[in-house]
Amino acid sequence: MSAQQARFDPVVHAPNRLRICALLDAVESAEFGTVQDRLDVSASVLSKHVAVLMDAGYVTQRRATRDTRQRVWLSLTATGRTAYAGHVAALRAIVDAAP
């Protein structure tokens, strides 16, 4: 990603949202419970951050039944992937510019 595409994104920047984006960027989708376990947060904390990401158009959720239980799968949208990559590039530019 070029420096021109680097863009600090306050929606992505919050630590838990940054971690959610990083996890989802590495996969096509992840089950809500898996994301919750990996981030070691409560369901309510994860729900709150996912709602912010969904409102920004960065994450989608899909409900499906698996093993007779309702499951929620989270995915990073194309817009979300672009925002995450731009944010990471902006952070790298900050770090690289440090003396």
pLDDT, one tens digit per residue, over 5-59 is: 889 999 999 999 999 999 999 999 999 999 999 999 999 999 999 999 999 999 9
Q: What is the pLDDT of residue 73?
A: 96
Smallest Cα–Cα separation from 53: which of 85, 88, 26, 14? 14
Domains of the chain: 3-97 (1.10.10.10)
Q: How does residue 1 score in pLDDT terms, banded at 50, 70 and 90?
A: very low
pLDDT tens figures, 77-88: 999 999 999 999
- Put simply, whether the predicted model's pTM sits higher than 0.95 gets the answer no
Identify which of 81, 30, 50 has the alpha carbon closest to the alpha carbon of residue 89.
81
pLDDT for residue 66: 73
How large is the angle between the packed helices 15-25 and 43-55, nearest 10 degrees? 80
